[in-house]
C-alpha cells in the first residue's frame, strides 16, 4: 500500500480538529499545532482528535509533507513564512469581514493569492475552505456514494493540485480542480459555492461560466 503523506494541521479551533479527524480517518499520520505549547492542547487532542500528535508548530511543519492552515486569517500574519519554505501548504482559511472583521492586508484580491505572496517559498493550494466546519465531517461520503458532495481545489501547480485533490477525495469529497489561485476566488465568501454543500453537477452549475477554468 502506498504510504500516505504526513500532515501538519495548524490550528485547534473550530476547523483544525475537524480536518485532523477527517485525515486520521483517511489513514494519514497527523500532527496538530497551535502558536503555543503542545501541552496546552494535549487534553483536546486526546479527547477530541484521538490519534493526532500535539507538537510545536515548527516540529510539526518540519516533519510534514503537507501543512494545512486552519487558523484565523489575522493570526496568519504572525506566522513566520520561513517555517513553511519548501512545503505544500493547504490554505483552508477565509477572508470573511462580516464574520471576523476587516483586515487591510486582505482587502485587495483573493485571500489565497495574498497568502501565497507571503509564503513565497511554499506551494499554496486553496481547499477545504468553503464547506462549513460543522458540516465537513457529517457530509463526507466515499467515492461512488450517490450523495457525495463536491469540494473545490485551486492552485497554479498542477502536481500540487493533484496531490490535494487526492487528499480531498480520501477525505470523502469529489474534488473539482481550478487551475489557479485566482480562479479559486470562486470558493471564497460571497461566491456561489461558499457555505453551500453541493453534488458535482450542482457545483458545476453554481460556478457556471467559471467552470471553463476547471481542469
Partner 1 sequence: MTYTFGLDTFGDRNSDADGQPLSHAQTIRNVVEEGVFAEQAGVDFFGIGEHHTEYFPMPAGDVVLAAIAARTERIRLGSAVTVLSSDDPVRVFQRYSTLNAISGGRAEVILGRGSSIESFPLFGYDLADYEELFEEKATLFAELLQGGPVTWEGKTRAALLNQDVVPHTESGPFPAWIGVGGNPQSVIRAARLGFSLALAIIGGPPARFAAYSQLFQRALEKFGRPPLPVLVHSPGHIAASDEQAKAEFWPRWRDIIAQIAPERGFAIPTQASFDRETGPDGALYVGSPETVAQKIAANLRALGATRFDLKFGMPGLTHDQLMTNIELYGHQVIPRARELLS
Residue 4 to residues 23, 166, 186: CA-CA distances in angstroms? 10, 10, 29
118 near partner 1, judged by CB under 8 A? no
206 near partner 1, judged by CB under 8 A? no
Helix (DSSP H) and strand (DSSP E) numbers for the chain: 9, 8
What the block records as the C-alpha cell of 166 is: 487526492
Strand ranges of the sheet holding 150-154, from the earlier edge strand across to the other edge: 53-54, 30-33, 7-10, 66-69, 88-91, 123-127, 150-154, 174-178
192 near partner 1, judged by CB under 8 A? no
108 near partner 1, judged by CB under 8 A? no
Answer for which of 86, 98, 144, 212 binds partner 1 (CB under 8 A) is: 98
User: Residue 208: left if φ>0, alpha if ψ -120 to 50, beta else—which one?
Assistant: left
Answer for which of 66, 167, 197, 207 binds partner 1 (CB under 8 A) is: 197
Judged by CB, which is closer to partner 1: 88, or 91? Answer: 91
Q: Contacts with partner 1 in 8-37 (CB under 8 A)?
A: 12-14, 17
Determine the length of the chain.
215
- CA diameter of the chain: 48
68 near partner 1, judged by CB under 8 A? no
Q: Contacts with partner 1 in 162-191 (CB under 8 A)?
A: 189-190
Q: Contacts with partner 1 in 124-163 (CB under 8 A)?
A: 132-135, 137-138
Contacts of 102 (CB under 8 A, 6+ apart): none
Answer for which of 100, 157, 166, 204 binds partner 1 (CB under 8 A) is: 100
Answer for which of 179, 192, 194, 210 binds partner 1 (CB under 8 A) is: 194
Question: What is the distance between the alpha carbons of residues 140 and 82, in angstroms, rounded to a whole number?
Answer: 34
Answer for which of 4, 26, 105, 196 binds partner 1 (CB under 8 A) is: 196
63 near partner 1, judged by CB under 8 A? no
Q: Which residues in this chain contact partner 1 in the complex, by CB under 8 A?
A: 12-14, 17, 40-41, 43-44, 47-48, 72, 74, 94, 96-103, 132-135, 137-138, 189-190, 194-197
Amino acid at each position: 500500500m502506498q504510504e500516505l503523506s504526513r500532515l501538519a494541521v495548524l490550528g485547534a479551533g473550530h476547523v483544525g480538529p475537524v480536518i485532523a479527524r477527517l485525515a486520521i480517518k483517511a489513514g494519514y499520520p497527523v500532527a496538530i499545532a497551535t502558536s503555543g505549547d503542545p501541552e496546552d492542547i494535549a487534553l483536546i487532542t486526546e479527547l477530541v482528535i484521538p490519534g493526532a500528535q500535539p507538537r510545536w508548530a515548527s516540529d510539526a511543519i518540519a516533519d510534514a509533507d503537507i501543512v494545512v492552515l486552519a487558523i484565523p486569517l489575522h493570526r496568519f500574519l504572525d506566522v513566520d513564512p520561513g517555517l513553511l519554505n519548501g512545503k505544500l501548504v493547504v490554505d483552508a482559511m477565509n477572508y470573511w469581514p462580516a464574520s471576523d472583521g476587516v483586515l487591510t492586508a486582505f482587502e485587495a484580491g483573493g485571500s489565497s493569492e495574498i497568502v501565497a505572496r507571503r509564503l513565497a517559498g511554499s506551494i499554496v493550494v486553496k481547499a477545504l475552505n468553503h464547506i462549513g466546519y460543522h458540516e465537513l465531517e457529517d457530509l463526507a461520503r466515499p467515492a461512488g456514494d450517490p450523495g457525495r458532495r463536491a469540494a473545490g481545489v485551486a492552485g497554479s501547480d498542477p502536481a500540487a493540485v493533484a496531490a490535494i485533490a487526492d487528499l480531498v477525495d480520501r477525505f470523502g469529497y469529489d474534488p473539482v480542480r481550478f487551475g489557479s489561485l485566482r480562479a479559486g476566488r470562486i470558493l471564497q465568501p460571497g461566491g456561489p459555492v461558499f457555505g453551500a454543500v453541493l453534488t458535482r453537477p450542482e457545483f458545476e452549475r453554481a460556478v457556471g461560466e467559471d467552470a471553463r477554468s476547471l481542469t
